[in-house]
Structure 1
Amino acid sequence: MMRFVSLILIITNYIGIVAFSVSGSIKAIEKRMDLLGIITLGFSTSLAGGILADLLLGITPPTNLIYLPYPTASFLTSIMTFLYFRKFNIINKILIYADALGLGAFTASGASLAYHLSPSPLLVIMVGTITAVGGGVLRDILANDIPLVLTKEFYATSAIIGSSAYYILAYLNIPAYTNSSIVLLLTFFLRVIAIMKKWKLPSIN
């Protein structure tokens, strides 16, 4: 069972790494950064959230820094984005959907990791959310933007809902693969619908 759970974590991690590497790389390209800047934002966006989650869970050194296929996947994705981004005619849409997919994948990955270490609802929700949004926060800071998670966007809220759903489904003994798939898709579609419908949280204007 644990080997199966580990496989699910690896799959969702790779989906998130590729999606967030594209998101971070395109952000760097929009900011006219050079190749090093593109790789740095791709790496930060895709791996920083997982590094922070591991540290919070007492996993040291963080998996993203010692399991070389993860940073390698990030570097290669960033380089491929750098080489072929001119062929994209709808960069903004690619960025939006890549970011939403990464959000869903890392929500599922972080929530799953936390649940199987300690099935505490607060831990699962916090780690799932931090894993999902941590890299994006660092990306925006490095790009000199206000982090999306701190604005009115329905962003971190999608990850919170997805992480909560993971805990509920796991508590109901839904199989890990099915649970992770549901959470990934739920978080992804929540984010996409929020963009389309312009959902925003209340704020003082």
Structure 2
Amino acid sequence: MRAEDVVELLNYVGIVAFALSGALKAGEKDMDLLGFVVLGFSTALAGGIIRDLLLGRFPPVNVVYMPYSLTAIAASLAAFFLYPHVKRFRDYVLYPDAVGLGAFAAIGADLTASYCQMRGLGNCWLTVMMLSSVTAAGGGVVRDVLAGEVPAVLRREIYASAAAVGGLIYLAASGLGREGAMLVTIVAVTAIRIASLARGWELPRVRQDKPRI
């Protein structure tokens, strides 16, 4: 199997895992069938849509490439009809979700770096970091906003930050070629995410003083 086929396969793993994450959130909020589909689709594909809009890629790939859209919708519908069963295994979704995070970060980094090179902008490392993070975590932000919550990536866990680091890893590994750099990025971001889950890593927060009684 070619490296690009592996990346595409892991991309589909991410779409399914992210869609299930969105659908589970819809279940928590007691949403109807449409709510499941909207949150599942948004979680899986909104990050890539936002990235493409920022890069001026019209129309966004995640809107017009039907296999991506249909995969997200199918996973959301499966979660709706099998919700009691899917809900029981929600913790296991975190691991394919971590793989998806790595795949989305790598794809975001690759597309952004290619755009910068095509425009003669150099490696534009900060842009690569930002759009890697947007691609991987943007859908989760949209999900949480639609669910009426503060986005989880802004208040706990190593998630969007892992994807941003993935952008730098992609650039550092660019000597291996596009496919090689993407595979290295996927492995690194996935490892960071799984390690953060296992060890409970979080970014620093402002210390809140407890009110005196």
Fold agreement, TM-score > 0.5: yes
Q: TM-score, normalised by structure 1?
A: 0.88
What 5-or-longer segments of structure 2 have no aligned partner?
Answer: 117-122, 209-213
Deviates more, 1:87-96 or 1:63-72: 87-96
What 5-or-longer segments of structure 1 have no aligned partner?
Answer: none
* Structure 1: distance between partners of 2:48 and 2:34: 21
CA shift in 2, pair 1:151/1:69, >3 Å: same
How far the C-alpha of 1:132 sits from its partner, in A, is 0.7
1:103 touches 1:187 (CA, 8 Å); kept in 2? Answer: yes
Q: Which amino acid aligns with 2:106?
A: A
1:148 is matched with 152
> Is 1:18 matched up with 2:24?
no
Q: Which amino acid aligns with 1:56?
A: L
How far the C-alpha of 1:88 sits from its partner, in A, is 4.0
2:47 touches 2:136 (CA, 8 Å); kept in 1? Answer: yes
Q: Within 5 A, what are the aligned runs for 1:118-197?
A: 118=116, 119-170=123-174, 173-197=175-199
How far the C-alpha of 1:152 sits from its partner, in A, is 3.5
What is the aligned length? 200
1:66 is matched with 64
CA shift in 2, pair 1:94/1:35, >3 Å: farther
How far the C-alpha of 1:151 sits from its partner, in A, is 0.7
CA RMSD of the aligned region, Å? Answer: 2.1
2:51 touches 2:135 (CA, 8 Å); kept in 1? Answer: yes
Q: Point out 4+ residue stretches in structure 1 off by more than 6 angstroms.
A: none
3-state SS in 2 of match to 1:175: helix
How far the C-alpha of 1:200 sits from its partner, in A, is 1.4
- Residue 52 of structure 2 is aligned with which of 51, 54, 70? 54
1:148 touches 1:155 (CA, 8 Å); kept in 2? Answer: no
Q: TM-score, normalised by structure 2?
A: 0.85
1:20 touches 1:46 (CA, 8 Å); kept in 2? Answer: yes
Identity %: 40
